[in-house]
Structure 1
């Protein structure tokens, strides 16, 4: 047990002050059991699993057998001792950073707090309740959020939602806990964020480094401090990214201002560096330091640009940082675990690094989870990942009563004060798809009604999205743009000319062919995706019965939560790729190749429309989704265990700073509604007909890139080169698309391979294959691969599609996979491989 010093102490109860750590019990039982040893935060499933009281919900079909946990009430308790010396402090408060969710808190038998919001930080003065030099008992009773939600729904009436049960909208708790189309229902409860005792005479409860960047030559800084209790002065020291002290000031007030000339500005990944200034704020009383707060802050100015575009109706939707337009290429982020307390800081680091390794520059924190941990935003600051932050409303028609709005206001103030020093924050969105719910279920939504009070309508949450939230953002974090929802803008939520859209007419909706992504884009596509299975290694981790490892088994199906997935996944696979055999490994490869092709087309088509000033018709593509919260087949491009699918690499290639795009248009006329063709100019072989291929370059850097364009055309069925275009000197213009070749006529059964070279070395490549791939017949090919320490080398005598490398004996992250090979290539795949590793290779139609 640590002692209390003359200055303020600030410690977690269940570590430095805990006598026995957290204990738990089911509320209708008497026996207390020890929670996970040393855990600062915890939730009931984590403790039950740790003590062997429930099976692992991620394995086999065990999730069915643990549903009872969420239907029970649970209690947690801990004991702590406070030395008599602490009594000299005028304030003793307990801080609860997050209680999940309906909690009654008693200290030494006295009720001190009742909570109903997982996202609110609660502070309780316990000066008169503490026992000194003896045990203090803290007991927290958690009601079942599932049953409480159902009780509230009976009072307030049934609502509408996508996913989960309708009662969930009554409760301010992570909505994915009710189950989603990528995760089971895991109804958690517990002290999910730290609880601490704070003993002080005076302290800073909030430090806000408010920044105003003016061009690139000046930044105004106002460090604003909120003080509780007695203190004399505040001192602030500014340290630049190189570790040099820039300035230091003291004040007897609550704010300190600085002006920085020629500041080092923070830029998103790919457009500049990510320097962070250090602000050290110290609270003094009688010249003695009471408290020190240190923050790492990036200086930047961010705008959401919605301006007219040339030649088309509507407006743009993109982000400009420090005056630089940025094309957003990234992923949606769902909670990393169904039991959040089991997701570690190291997990956050690995996952966000994976996004950066995939050439992504934006992460969208989806509104059905929770406001992420501090480490998440700190890593995004460090790595240069822009964060699109939803407020926590998803796919539902939420209440709008004064009591509900008051709870939301406390929640949002908690979170904005906690997060507002993070430069990665790029936009706040009021909700995820709630306007779509209103639209689909015919709720009251008149876009021309700007009254701000919608309490008398059956869509009262509009008041939250269009009044409450923007007012709080303007007050507490005015440097970050606010948008009422996602999708939002235009005549309706599907308007592709204004705001962002969620494009789900591939997979959901009308289930369009993914080759038609170019028709389905918008000003900013913040959701789109395609399902695929995780790797065989992963299936072997969460399915213990080998006889269940076939594509249509009950357990395999159980680990896919999407409605109608059997039909939809089969539809897209069978439409596009030949399945060599219906064993598990072949089916996994087929779904992953199809997903990779699908997402590649989307990024390729939409990024092409980043056409320079006044013509930024598409401002970004954010794939659904980067990650999973449990082991399932889903739209994730990396599975729950951190193993990338082939689509991860497809997205990585299409999001590279320098890239090539290709697309072919079919010229064979078809009879509408059929696959039948008619040939007006006499008898011809179908194979003789041609396609037109466009070729363009993309460059997200801020410098023009001169290069040489090479284009080869190969016959697919023989593998022979048919033609090479003359080398062409080109310039990939900075921060936009450059069109290179328009309507290159090629035989139907040919693959076009293009690359741009600098100093004789390719800096980007692209291949356009005839579609659908299932119709293609390949010659025998000789593909050589050699494994060395640190890399794998591959060559081929003929064009090869979709090479998959697998390291069987170890977990190794490869820098590339799922790529094509052409006879002119020597492919080097880097990774932590060793010469003696068991590496296998396969490719399409092997």
Structure 2
């Protein structure tokens, strides 16, 4: 049924700054402010030039609105979350005083008919941080103030290093007010269980307002219906019970199966409430012998994805959330790690992850610091974590709960003994709450953890930066013996070109312009950033000097930078995805940029995939082929198969000579059981070839080796290439690259990309259109068809743009088929 109307839905909110310690709302300085929203968002929206650079924790901030009550009586005021120390006043009476931005509140108010005033007063954090507190066991170099460990707030805008943003202050989650005369849902808790006989049970607890306790209350899930037990006083009841479905379909991450969801509907008398949707699955972690392997429905899963933080850290809103998460899914990711430096996800985020088949690794909002162990702190934390876990109730997407991010690692780096690495809240309080409110959900005390030292990667979840910040060759991805990378592959990558003023300005800023560097992640204690790291790999892999490239041709320098990151991703993920790898997961840091430029995200600030996204998409297909260099043993062909059944088809091997023609080709039948198989290429060829160019008896006979999986219907499923000799092909003035667009039914266009000679790192740039593939190698005489989908900023008419290869002398304009 429809809920009672929200009396605040159409009101106009305003906010204003006041001095720290203010006791009354200011008379002047009010500006229009969206709610939910933050002070920084309100100032940004009115064009304040200092909006993104202000220290918001230095002042008090007030929000104000007026509303009208048509019918006197009981009303329910819902406060979704306010950052951070705040009070709520109705007609100058304080109705709530809180110190945790992550806790929601439901308040009962008796309101008379007429006009009323609602105020939200956010107090300055600086005087509160200045109070003397017990010292931590270690000091975090990442915090702007050590006493932030006592404050339950986001670390966005309160970290040293990283990408800077304003500290969130204000009502960042919705505030609603409804009359209680209408039947309405106050709160709900759901939990699911799967049985070995194929049945599934849903446990239900709902609190209903405006319902007579004598009413019959039932729950319906699918075709099953069951009564609920009712208790409470007149007008407010709590209904509890369970319902069992004799046979349920299991929910899977989208890489492994379908996502059946079941509506849960509670009926109380004539009122009907849609409580939510649930899914049935089991989730566990295999930790044997140092492993960390997610198992969904008893099947081991290679977890792949990226870390997530708010796409707009100024407002804490995620904008077009469906488009963002569909991009995650379309990249063949199956897990999202919600990092402990941001905020907890919204209900809409969780709904979409359930629908799209995305698992969630959920950090508690602790990072870098030694969490206190004190009664008042533990009490507010317990309520915070309880609400978090209940928001996941019945949802199949929850895969892991993590007590903190980087905390144990920080303690170890600073020389503390192992018994002091884990904060008591992460060792006892949080796991107890997980066992109570999300039983069976895997828990880890911190990311990283589980190895003898948090810096080691050969046991448990780890933060692997051997390839990356520690400047190891890509072969270290195998040598290190990574078991599960819960953070990895953090490297600045320029966004794809954009034909706009913003795109042109960004291109000119490439390198050391302050506006460009503002989007580049840098650790708090380092003198280098992650663009410096990428440039080291440009020298190491391609033998090029990035400084000279930028001086000569900024556009080509950006393309080489993208190709560098693409090559690193291809090398590392090929090692980890191969079936006999010890690694069971890779979560890239970070999923998206917060602005347009050269950030570390694999998706740019406008939601457009960058070069490493395309590489990851291809390597993480449910059935994918990859090549690894085994030195004197030649090349190994690895076929990964997520299942659920064996894959059968053809394996085609093409050996390219001089970049101009395929000198030899071999096709053989192949069968890849779950989780995959490995084929030795030398054995498949039946005689010696120096295909890896390790023996070097002379010039390489073949400069490119390509392997392609071909389905029984003749379609190409997956392709991988190995480049013998130098990793960068010389510029070829006679490449013969061609691109023609043709329209399908509706808004979709297909782009046929072909080449006469081998084209390295072909990339498609079409403003307003999203290609489903880019940054790939193309064999001589081959054609690849790329699907183009319109983006919201698409212009009328056919796609206009160009196709380029790293070894092309010039770009190729896209022609349109008649």
User: TM-score, normalized by length of structure 1?
Assistant: 0.84
Tell which deviates more after alignment, 207-216 or 296-305.
Answer: 207-216
Is residue 797 of structure 1 aligned with residue 797 of structure 2? no
Which of 648, 668, 692 matches 2:634?
692
Question: Any gaps of 5 or more consecutive residues in structure 2?
Answer: 20-25, 232-238, 684-688, 694-699, 744-748, 791-795, 809-818
Partners in 2 of 1:234 and 1:439 — Cα distance?
Answer: 58
Choose the corresponding residue for 2:94, options 101, 111, 118. Answer: 111
Partner residue of 2:166 out of 167, 172, 186: 186
Quick check: 1:530–1:595 contact (8 Å CA) kept in 2? no
Partner of 1:746: 691
**1:802-841 CA distances to partner (integer Å, 9 max, x unpaired)?**
011111xx32110000011002522111113798432212
Q: CA deviation at 1:363?
A: 0.9
Deviation string, structure 1 residues 589-642 (Cα, Å, up to 9, x no partner): 11111111111222110111x44xxxx732211111211234452221111111
Distance 1:480 1:113 in 2: 33
Say whether 1:223 aligns with 2:204.
yes
- Aligned with 1:246 (options 224, 232, 247): 224
Cα 1:112/1:542, change in 2 over 3 Å: farther
Query: Which residue of structure 1 aligns with residue 236 of structure 2?
Result: none
Partner of residue 9 from structure 2, selected from 4, 11, 15: 15
Pick one of 785, 807, 810 that aligns with 1:845. Answer: 807
On the 8 A contact 1:360/1:652 being kept in 2, the answer is yes
* Partner deviation per Cα, 1:750-799 (whole Å, 9 max, x = no partner): 22111121233321111011365247575742222212221111222221
Q: CA deviation at 1:434?
A: 0.8
Question: 2-side partners of 1:272 and 1:536: how far apart?
Answer: 32
> SS of the residue aligned with 1:797?
coil
Q: RMSD between aligned alpha carbons?
A: 2.8
Whole-Å Cα distance in 2 between the matches of residues 738 and 692 of structure 1? 13
**Could you tell me how far apart the structure 1 residues matched to 2:350 and 2:224 are?**
25
Alpha-carbon distance change, 10 to 98 in structure 1, aligned in 2, over 3 angstroms: farther
Distance 1:774 1:375, change over 3 A: same
Q: Secondary structure at the match of 2:304?
A: strand
CA distance in 2, matches of 1:527, 1:417: 26
CA contact (8 A) 1:575 1:772 kept: no
Match for residue 683 of structure 1?
Answer: none
- Deviates further, 263-272 or 202-211: 202-211
* Equivalent position SS for 2:8: coil
What TM-score do the two structures reach when normalised by structure 2? Answer: 0.86
1:321-349 residue CA offsets vs partner (Å, 9 max, x unmatched)? 222222112111122111234433xx110
1:676-687 equivalences under 5 Å are none
Tell me whether 1:361 sits opposite 2:334 in the alignment.
yes
Whether the aligned pair in 1 keeps the contact of 2:468 and 2:533 (CA below 8 Å) is yes
Aligned to 1:653: 618
Aligned counterparts, 1:264-275, within 5 A: 264-275=249-260
Deviates more, 1:705-714 or 1:179-188: 179-188
CA contact (8 A) 2:35 2:174 kept: yes
1:174-205 deviation per Cα after TM superposition (whole angstroms, max 9, x unaligned): 11222465421311211111122344378654
Whole-Å Cα distance in 2 between the matches of residues 543 and 705 of structure 1?
Answer: 43
Q: Report the Cα offset of residue 124 of structure 1.
A: 3.3
SS in structure 1 at match of 2:753: strand
For residues 33 and 86 of structure 1, the distance between their equivalents in structure 2, rounded to whole angstroms, comes to: 30
Give runs of aligned pairs for residues 682-761 of structure 1, distance below 5 A: 692-715=634-657, 717-724=658-665, 726-741=666-681, 745-746=690-691, 748=693, 749=700, 750-759=703-712, 760-761=714-715
Once the two structures are superposed, the pairs formed by residues 232-243 of structure 1 within 5 Å of their partners are: 232-233=214-215, 235-240=217-222
Question: Which residues in structure 2 correspond to 1:155-194 (within 5 Å)?
Answer: 156=135, 159-161=138-140, 163-167=142-146, 168-179=148-159, 181-194=161-174
1:530-571 deviation line (CA, Å, top 9, x unaligned): 423333646966589689534333332333242512532321
Q: What's 2:460 paired with?
A: 499
| Separation of aligned partners in 1, 2:297 and 2:391 | 24
CA apart distance, 1:12:
4.0
Structure-1 residue corresponding to 2:72: 86
Alpha-carbon distance in 1 for matches of 2:227, 2:180? 24
Describe the shift of the 1:558–1:370 C-alpha distance in structure 2 as closer, same or farther (beyond 3 A): closer
Residue in structure 2 matched with residue 133 of structure 1 by the alignment: 113
| Aligned partners of 1:40 and 1:194 also within 8 Å | yes
Judge conservation of contact 2:692–2:724 (CA < 8 Å) in 1.
no
Deviation, 1:148, is: 4.5
Look up the SS of the partner of 1:175 in the other structure. Answer: coil
Residue in 1 aligned with 2:195?
Answer: 214
Deviations 1:265-314 (A, max 9, x none): 211112221111111113x4xx453x72431111111112223xxxxxx2
Question: CA 1:710/1:836 → structure 2, altered by over 3 Å: closer, same or farther?
Answer: same
Gap runs ≥5 in structure 1? 1-6, 58-62, 308-313, 447-456, 668-690
Corresponding residue for 2:601? 636
**Would the aligned equivalents of 1:380 and 1:386 in 2 still touch at CA under 8 Å?**
yes
Contact 2:534 2:564 (C-alpha < 8 Å) held by counterparts: no
Map 1:417-456 → 2, pairs under 5 A: 417-446=390-419
Q: Does the Cα contact within 8 Å between 1:661 and 1:766 map onto a contact in 2? A: yes
Q: For residue 340 of structure 1, give the secondary structure of its aligned residue in structure 2.
A: coil
Once the 2 structures are TM-superposed, how far is the Cα of residue 665 of structure 1 from its aligned partner?
3.8
Is the Cα contact below 8 Å between 2:769 and 2:799 reproduced in 1?
A: no
Structure 2 CA distance for partners of 1:234 and 1:211, relative to 1, 3 Å = farther
Kept in 2: contact 1:692–1:745 (CA 8 A): yes
| Residues 771, 269 of structure 1: alpha-carbon distance in 2 compared, 3 angstrom cutoff | farther
Distance between the aligned counterparts of 2:67 and 2:133, measured in 1? 40
Post-superposition CA distance 1:685-723 (Å, at most 9, x none) = xxxxxx7211121111211111111212223x4534443
Q: What is the aligned counterpart of 1:806 among 758, 765, 770?
A: 765
1:31 Cα deviation (Å)? 1.2
Q: After superposing the two structures, state which structure 1 stretch, 497-506 or 156-165, moved more.
A: 156-165
- Change in 2 beyond 3 A, CA 1:632/1:24: same
Instruction: Please say if residues 200 and 280 of structure 2, whose CA atoms lie closer than 8 Å, have aligned partners that are also in contact.
Output: yes
SS at 2:431 equivalent? helix
**Whole-Å Cα distance in 1 between the matches of residues 639 and 682 of structure 2?**
12
Corresponding position of 2:549: 581
Structure 1 736/402 Cα, relative in aligned 2: closer, same or farther at 3 Å? farther
Q: How many Å apart are 1:424 and its aligned residue?
A: 0.6
- Structure-2 change in CA distance of 1:471 and 1:69 (3 Å): closer
CA distance in 2, matches of 1:69, 1:382: 37
Name the structure 2 match of 1:678. Answer: none
Q: Is 1:331 the counterpart of 2:291 in the alignment?
A: no
Give, in whole Å, the separation in 2 of the partners of 1:117 and 1:234. 38
CA distance in 1, matches of 2:307, 2:481: 17
Give the deviation of 1:367 after TM superposition.
Answer: 1.1
Per the alignment, residue 453 of structure 1 pairs with none
SS at match of 1:695: strand
Shift of 1:100: 0.9
